[in-house]
């Protein structure tokens, strides 16, 4: 793992940054190959019982939402998204949102149905779960995510007061002991200092994490970050390179919003294996979607899935097997309960309708 001095040099000396990028690039190719996955979180609801994170759009929404029940997304729309993502070769980064909106039983059923539709076990990012609750997801959930967002104690108490770190750590330790993969999410640009990158490395080491998502801040209207600039591309690359050179095996997903697409190439060279945070249906097939593909190509990586092939989106053509992450990573489809199968059958006509609606939405922009 890098030392505090080495971490600080990454952000103060361009020679060090360039050396770290070269090392990170070599380590990524050696340990992960050249594949890059397109990742996307599937939101379960617009409700969040925490609703106090200073950067979050959902926290603002809460003021308008009275009941958790009404903020839940229709299950067939969630499933339509999952099916289209499977068709396009996108990965379900995790099921997220909906803290406090669903019962455990409802969450388990949703996880089963999404895993079946996506033909891949899913990750969860639904708040802190204890070991009894985690037990319910065996067989259908691959990994558990803690949304840490930032590691500085002081900053955490100000901007994520409703998500103390200790219970998140406890959940991730228990989940790991139970055989789940574990990961965290971090947002850069919240006001953290360069020294926090070393604290982040310590946390990854302590929790033996398998995956980390490193988002660049997307300043939302109405939040305290509305007028903040997103973090510099080379800062995000430096953090990713620090993680990659310290932990060659970890999966790194880099989150970049639509106005920061040129950051993708450098994030990949720095060690990212996956990219996320794109509005799939409004970007697919547009110049923005194709720009993402170009960024990956020019970083010398192979993109799994498509962001532009409308025939694949419409289902008139299948994704080439060599671009399908389920085939490339040789995943077996998850086992799901009879109850989940019956629900899927029941929702089938509405899932189909929602898929047609999503595809038409894309075609209108194409
Ligand atoms: S817990 Fe997640 S959804 Fe809820 S306010 Fe915080 S960031 Fe937003």
Q: What is the pLDDT of residues 204-246, one digit of tens each?
A: 999 999 999 999 998 888 889 999 999 999 999 999 999 999 9
Residue 64 has pLDDT above 70, yes or no: no
What is the 64 CA–ligand 1 centroid distance (Å)?
Answer: 15
Domains of the chain: total: 1
Q: What is the pLDDT of residues 160-185, one digit of tens each?
A: 999 999 999 999 999 999 999 999 99
What is the 81 CA–ligand 1 centroid distance (Å)?
Answer: 21
> Is any atom of ligand 1 closer than 6 Å to the C-beta of 99?
yes
> Is any atom of ligand 1 closer than 6 Å to the C-beta of 53?
yes
Q: What is the pLDDT of residues 14-55, one digit of tens each?
A: 999 999 999 999 999 999 999 999 999 999 988 788 888 888
| pLDDT over 90 percentage in the chain | 81
What is the 302 CA–ligand 1 centroid distance (Å)?
Answer: 33
Residue 345 has pLDDT above 90, yes or no: yes
- Of 143, 152, 279, which is closest to residue 211 (Cα–Cα)? 143
Q: Report pTM.
A: 0.95
How would residue 69 be classed by pLDDT, with cut points 50, 70 and 90? confident
Q: Domain containing 32 — which CATH number? A: 3.20.20.70
C-alpha count within 13 angstroms, C-beta hemisphere, residue 33: 8
* Segments forming the whole domain that contains residue 309: 4-365
- The Cα–Cα gap between 238 and 240 comes to 5
The vertex-15 CA angle with 10 and 20, nearest 5°, equals 55
- Of 96, 113, 200, 87, which is closest to residue 149 (Cα–Cα)? 200
> Is any atom of ligand 1 closer than 6 Å to the C-beta of 58?
yes
């Amino acid at each position: 793992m890098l030392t505090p001095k080495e971490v600080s040099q990454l952000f103060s000396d361009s020679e060090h940054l360039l050396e770290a990028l070269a090392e990170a690039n070599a380590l990524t190719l050696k340990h992960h190959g050249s594949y890059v996955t397109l990742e996307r979180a599937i939101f379960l609801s617009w409700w969040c019982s925490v609703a106090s994170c200073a950067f979050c759009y959902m926290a603002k929404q809460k003021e308008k939402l009275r009941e958790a029940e009404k903020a839940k997304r229709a299950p067939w729309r969630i499933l339509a998204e999952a099916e289209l993502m499977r068709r396009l070769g996108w990965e379900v980064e995790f099921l997220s949102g909906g803290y406090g909106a669903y019962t455990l039983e409802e969450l388990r059923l949703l996880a089963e149905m999404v895993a079946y539709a996506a033909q891949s076990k899913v990750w969860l990012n639904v708040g802190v779960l204890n070991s009894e609750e985690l037990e319910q997801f065996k067989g259908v959930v691959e990994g558990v995510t803690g949304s840490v967002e930032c590691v500085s104690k002081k900053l955490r108490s100000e901007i994520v007061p409703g998500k103390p770190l200790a219970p998140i750590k406890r959940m991730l330790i228990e989940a790991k002991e139970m055989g789940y993969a574990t990961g965290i999410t971090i947002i850069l640009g919240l006001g953290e200092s360069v020294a926090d990158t070393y604290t982040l490395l310590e946390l990854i080491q302590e929790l033996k994490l398998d995956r980390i998502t490193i988002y660049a801040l997307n300043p939302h209207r109405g939040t305290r970050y509305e007028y903040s600039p997103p973090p510099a591309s080379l800062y995000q690359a430096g953090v990713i390179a620090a993680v990659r050179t310290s932990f060659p095996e970890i999966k790194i997903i880099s989150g970049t919003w639509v106005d920061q697409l040129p950051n993708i190439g450098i994030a990949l060279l720095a060690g990212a294996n996956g990219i996320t945070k794109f509005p799939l249906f409004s970007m697919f097939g547009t110049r923005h979607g194709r720009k993402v593909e170009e960024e990956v190509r020019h970083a010398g990586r192979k993109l799994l899935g498509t962001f532009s092939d409308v025939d694949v989106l419409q289902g008139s053509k299948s994704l080439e097997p060599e671009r399908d992450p389920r085939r490339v990573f040789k995943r077996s489809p998850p086992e799901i309960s009879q109850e989940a199968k019956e629900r899927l059958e029941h929702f089938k006509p509405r899932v189909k309708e929602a898929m047609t609606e999503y595809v038409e939405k894309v075609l209108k922009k194409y």
